[in-house]
Amino acid sequence: MQLLTTDAFQAMLDSMIDPAAIVDVLKRCVVLFNSAFARLTAGGLCESGGDILKLFPAAGAMLEELCQEAITSESPLDTCFSWQDPGSHEPGLWTARLNRLVHDAGRSLVILCMHEETDHIRLIRRLDTVLSGVPGQDQGADLVASLDALMERASVALDTEHVWTMLSTDDGLELRLIAHSCPHSALPASVNLSSLPTVVDAISSGRPIYIGRHVASPHEQKLMVQMCCDGMLACPIQLSEGSGAAVALFPRGANEPSADRVCLLEIVAGKCASLIESHKNMVTLATLVRAERRALVLAEQGAHQIRSLLNSLSDGVVILDKSGAVRFANDALTVLLGIDKEKLNTWHQLFDDTSLRVQAFPGRLRSAFDAEAMLRFISPEGRDVVTGSGAAARSLKITCGGVQDSESALESIILVFHDWTTLQRMRQSQQDVLRFVSHDLRTPLTQIMARAQLIELTAERADSVRRAASSIVKASKRMNEMIQDITDSARLEIGASPIHSKPVDVMRVMTDIVEVLSSANPSSHIGLIGPDNLPTIITDPLRLERIVNNLVSNAVKYSPPGSPVTISIDTADSEIVVSVSDRGVGMSDEEKAHVFERYFRSAEAVRAAEGLGLGLYISKSFVEALGGRIWVESAIGQGSTFSFTLPLTIDSGAAK
């Protein structure tokens, strides 16, 4: 127990961002804890020896039961639970990891690590840190180079020369310039907080803020004039320690930045936070390895405690010596790469025994391990790799750090595997939106303009006028459909799409829909099959009409001209089943797995027709809101059948 109460081990607990404590299971009390753990207790009062039931009146009994289970388990115990901490206004979702430290006749100790999860998918999941440390000079230079490169790419994407990153100083009185897209600009190395109130407001509010030159503060106006700019956009950078902002100046004559530009700068700010936090984490892990070398003379108990801390990380970590032998691999690596860490002995097994794709790595690194070459190749920005294939593919970011011995020679390297699949998919969605706004919305407008000009030139010829007017109407309708898709998608995302149910004659609604769609698509054969005695049900007719319209429009769009599209209706158990079948190009299994996702479009769909990929996503959302389910059956070259159900809630008045 003397080892556990040393100042050095207490410092390691204090350096952790998440709440953590060591619990004596027999005495039901907390032995050691960090400040984050203390803030969660009742009244914020926590002391060594405190009864866990009194410290956590609402969750103490559950935590005590988990500790009892963990003390008898050979492997770490993971769980999640709903709990409202004293500083929150509503319950939140928490995860906990418990590791047994000591279990003998006199002592039963468990390390408890807690982490709060949010309701929204984070753009970037920050790495958990184990030891605190200040980056060295070499690592700092690599970090600045990475941020400078990011600023340069951001300036191109935002169409401005001036994008920079600022972090608050330790005393909180100034903002320090870290990186800039134009290193030779007139920006000062540091400025007082009062000089840039817009940036300060963005940091304090946690949201992006834009301000024009004419309403900016005197110092901000002076800065904009010097750089020939008319507006400033600031996005906060959220860090585990400290704060900062990504700032962009927009040139004279430019309009207020669009939502897409604001979103892009927010992503840049998130990426800045990721680089800074990952850099801190990499240095922390390197520090931990050096501490482990110095602690080899300690008992096996101490080594087990350090490994438990590493296993609490959510990112995969593997430590290799300079020959390529694996010195350590944590539990998260098992999940990310699907490999048994107990059988992982060499660097080559990461490639040979896992689904890790290594095309991005030079052949010389795969055939013969070279620690220094690997360190140079991966650092400073890391390398992107992919595990798995198809729908199971995951995008990983590999970062690397070196550990030196007492003579400054490279002794080992640390590889950290960070899963950022969610961020990659969000980036792809953003690119789809940008492509849609810049191209697909513009195409109908171009047709409208061209046909309108044609009307002016051919007004005396009635047939030409009718054909031109028909083209204008079709293009306008298509544009209205696109705008409606965007509107519905946005409303679904924020939960602002209410359902208005009433008695509905399904067969009559379907007949009306077929008549309208047949008139709009005279070259297509749209048929309706169903019984005559369908009951009147309670549902939202507008939502039903939108669902069928989307499915039939898709079938017509991706089928050969003149081929039939069939709508069939039937009842099964307590449901009405509606199916829309076509003889189009069909879909692969991989495409079917993603077809109802927001913004998804197959390669064939992108080539065949314009659109954003929101129709099926909206249809699925509406079907589920009406209490039904939706699915697709399809094969390449054999067409597709989309089916959905509605609850058979019969209108009592109609039944009578």
pLDDT (tens digit, 9 = 90+) per residue, 162-189? Answer: 898 999 888 888 898 888 887 566 678 8
Given this model, what pLDDT does residue 43 score?
73
Instruction: Confirm if 245 and 263 have CB atoms less than 8 A apart.
Output: no
Q: pLDDT class for 577, splitting at 50, 70, 90?
A: very high
> Distance of alpha carbon 274 from its chain centroid, rounded?
13
CA–CA dist 299, 305 (Å, integer): 10
User: Over the chain, what is the mean pLDDT?
Assistant: 78
CATH of 499-647, one of 3.30.565.10, 3.30.420.10, 3.30.360.10, 1.10.3720.10: 3.30.565.10
Give whole-number Cα distances, 471 to 454, 553, 614, in Å: 11, 18, 24
DSSP annotation of 213: G
Q: In what order do the strands lie in the sheet with 525-529?
A: 525-529, 564-572, 575-581, 640-647, 630-634
Reported in sequence order, the residue ranges of 46-199 that DSSP labels E, i.e. its strands, are 77-83, 92-103, 108-117, 162-168, 174-180, 190-192
CA–CA dist 423, 122 (Å, integer): 8
- Of 162, 141, 382, nearest to 271 by C-alpha is 382
Given this model, what pLDDT does residue 542 score?
87
Q: pLDDT class for 569, splitting at 50, 70, 90?
A: very high
Residue whose structure tokens are 């899963």: 419
Instruction: Confirm if 512 and 549 have CB atoms less than 8 A apart.
Output: no
For residue 570, the surrounding DSSP H or E stretch is strand 564-572
Instruction: Confirm if 382 and 400 have CB atoms less than 8 A apart.
Output: yes
Given this model, what pLDDT does residue 643 score?
94
CA–CA dist 583, 639 (Å, integer): 4
Given this model, what pLDDT does residue 329 score?
86
Highest mean pLDDT among 286-290, 429-433, 440-444, 453-457: 286-290
What count of Cα atoms within 13 Å lies in the side-chain half-sphere of residue 19?
19
Q: pLDDT class for 131, splitting at 50, 70, 90?
A: very low
Task: Say if 139-283 and 313-497 have the same CATH topology.
Answer: yes
CA–CA dist 13, 10 (Å, integer): 5
DSSP annotation of 346: B
pLDDT, tens digit (0-9, with 9 covering 90-100), for 238-250: 888 888 999 999 8
The domain ranges of the chain are 6-125, 139-283, 313-497, 499-647
Q: What is the mean pLDDT of residues 12-40?
A: 85
Instruction: Confirm if 610 and 594 have CB atoms less than 8 A apart.
Output: no
Give whole-number Cα distances, 602 to 451, 549, 585, 586, 594, in Å: 31, 20, 11, 11, 9
CA–CA dist 336, 330 (Å, integer): 11
CA–CA dist 417, 5 (Å, integer): 32
Instruction: Confirm if 485 and 622 have CB atoms less than 8 A apart.
Output: no
- Of 110, 130, 129, nearest to 31 by C-alpha is 110
CATH of 313-497, one of 3.40.50.300, 3.20.20.150, 3.30.70.1090, 3.30.450.20: 3.30.450.20
Beta-carbon count within 10 A of 249 CB: 26
Q: What is the mean pLDDT of residues 617-631?
A: 90
pLDDT, tens digit (0-9, with 9 covering 90-100), for 310-324: 778 888 888 888 888
Given this model, what pLDDT does residue 121 score?
33
CA–CA dist 13, 210 (Å, integer): 40
CA–CA dist 276, 286 (Å, integer): 16
- Judging by DSSP bridges, how do beta strands 564-572 and 525-529 pair with one another? parallel
Residue whose structure tokens are 């004596």: 24
Identity of the residue numbered 290:
R
Instruction: Confirm if 240 and 277 have CB atoms less than 8 A apart.
Output: yes
pLDDT, greater one: 49 or 351: 49
Q: Which CATH class is domain 139-283?
A: alpha beta
pLDDT, greater one: 58 or 603: 58
- Of 283, 16, 253, 275, nearest to 130 by C-alpha is 16
Give 116's strand partners. 94
Instruction: Confirm if 571 and 647 have CB atoms less than 8 A apart.
Output: no
CA–CA dist 322, 272 (Å, integer): 31
Pull the structure tokens for residue 100. 């047994």
